[in-house]
């Protein structure tokens, strides 16, 4: 297996993975979306809500706010916690939200009892309060995974495509028609011939092939090489999300290995 980093940001990682099957590349993608545990608000007690939003709408909005913990590993998922899932500081973070209008209620107004936990983004609007309107609530966040509910989904935009293999033959007369139709703007004419500038950006749409009357373009997917893009909700750094996804897959493989060993 070969790994080449193409882009690294806090919320996004893009890499070229070669010498693997599509199932492997897809396994990492799926694990980022469904198996990486993060925090989200799980239960709310509403004491006062005179805003324009119904309690249910408000609760849904608050549940979907991405939360960032300084150290996610200090929290357990409820069913794995020493309390047995009844609720304790090891598997819950309490919060309080109290605001009176006029003004917008933002995600930063949610105050957690653990100073290491906060909203991943300060200015997510929750609801605008009119003069004298009030919002008072408390509740707690828990750590779970995306397959339990989308509010715990760490990976949001996760995808992969085959690496494109692209070639221009001697038949190219430099007419430029492929350059005109390419939606990714990665084709140029240089010294009378077409050339791809950054072929990893190619979407394999084949519009260039359709436009080329000289049939000079050869394009095919490299079957064991993938451009993988993973973007998160902000709950966890993208690089850590991929590492966690890989370790979750590894954990399952080891479980399976142990079960198979018991049979022999
Ligand atoms: S359309 Fe075909 S012939 Fe024209 S520049 Fe592109 S590759 Fe060359
Ligand atoms: S396949 Fe599509 S994106 Fe790729 S070079 Fe051709 S026109 Fe551009
Ligand atoms: Zn607990």
- Ordered per-residue pLDDT tens for the chain, 264 residues: 999 999 999 999 999 999 999 999 999 999 999 999 999 999 999 999 999 999 999 999 999 999 999 999 999 999 999 999 899 999 999 999 999 989 999 999 999 999 999 999 999 999 999 999 999 999 999 999 999 999 999 999 999 999 999 999 999 999 999 999 999 999 999 999 999 999 999 999 999 999 999 999 999 999 999 999 999 999 999 999 999 999 999 999 999 999 999 997
DSSP-derived 3-state class of residue 97? strand
Ligand 2 atom with the shortest distance to the CA of 209: 6
Same-domain status, 169 and 145: no
Where in the sequence is the domain holding 172, given as residue range(s)? 2-34+156-230
Ligand 2 atom with the shortest distance to the CA of 164: 4
Count of structural domains, the chain: 2
Beta-carbon neighbour count of residue 250 at 10 Å?
10
Ligand 1 atom with the shortest distance to the CA of 176: 5
> 181 lies in a domain?
yes
> 111 lies in a domain?
yes
Same-domain status, 16 and 117: no
Nearest CA to ligand 1 atom 6: 178
Residue of 217, 202, 214 whose CA lies nearest to 175: 214
| Residue 242 CB partners (closer than 8 Å, separation 6+) | 13, 28, 32, 230
- For ligand 1, pick from 169, 171, 177, 180 the residue to mutate: most ligand atoms within 8 Å of CB: 177
Max distance between CA atoms of the chain, in angstroms, equals: 75
> 171 lies in a domain?
yes
Would you give the end-to-end CA distance of the chain in angstroms?
Answer: 31
- Cα 55–chain centre separation: 28
Query: What beta strand segments (E) does the chain contain?
Result: 2-8, 12-18, 38-49, 67-69, 93-100, 103-106, 111-112, 117-119, 125-129, 134-144, 155-168, 187-190, 193-196, 217-232
Nearest CA to ligand 2 atom 7: 182
- pTM across the whole model: 0.86
Ligand 1 atom with the shortest distance to the CA of 174: 5
**Is ligand 2 within 6 A of the CB of residue 182?**
yes
**Is ligand 1 within 6 A of the CB of residue 110?**
no
Backbone dihedral angles phi then psi of residue 260, each to the nearest 5 degrees = -65, -35
């Amino acid at each position: 297996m070969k790994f080449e980093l193409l882009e690294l940001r806090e919320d996004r990682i893009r890499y070229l993975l070669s010498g693997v099957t599509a199932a492997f590349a897809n396994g990492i993608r799926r694990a980022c979306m469904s198996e990486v545990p993060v925090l989200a608000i799980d239960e709310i007690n509403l004491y006062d809500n005179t805003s324009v939003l119904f309690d249910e709408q408000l609760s849904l909005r608050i549940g979907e706010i991405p939360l960032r913990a300084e150290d996610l590993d200090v929290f357990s998922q409820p069913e794995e916690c020493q309390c047995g899932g009844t609720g304790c500081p090891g598997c819950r973070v309490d919060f309080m939200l109290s605001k009176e209008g006029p003004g917008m209620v933002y995600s930063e107004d949610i105050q957690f009892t653990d100073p290491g936990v906060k909203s991943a983004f300060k200015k997510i609007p929750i609801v605008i309060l009119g003069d004298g309107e009030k919002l008072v609530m408390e509740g707690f966040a828990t750590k779970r995974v995306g397959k339990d509910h989308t509010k715990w989904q760490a990976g949001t935009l996760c995808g992969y495509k085959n690496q494109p293999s692209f070639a221009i033959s001697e038949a190219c007369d430099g007419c430029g028609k492929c350059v005109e139709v390419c939606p990714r703007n990665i084709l140029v004419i240089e010294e009378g011939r077409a050339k791809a500038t950054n072929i990893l950006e190619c979407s394999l749409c084949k519009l260039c092939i359709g436009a080329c009357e000289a049939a000079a373009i050869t394009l095919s997917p490299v079957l064991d090489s993938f451009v993988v893009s993973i973007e998160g909700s902000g709950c966890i750094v993208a690089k850590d999300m991929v590492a966690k996804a890989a370790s979750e897959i590894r954990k399952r493989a080891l479980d399976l290995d142990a079960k198979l060993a018991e049979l022999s």
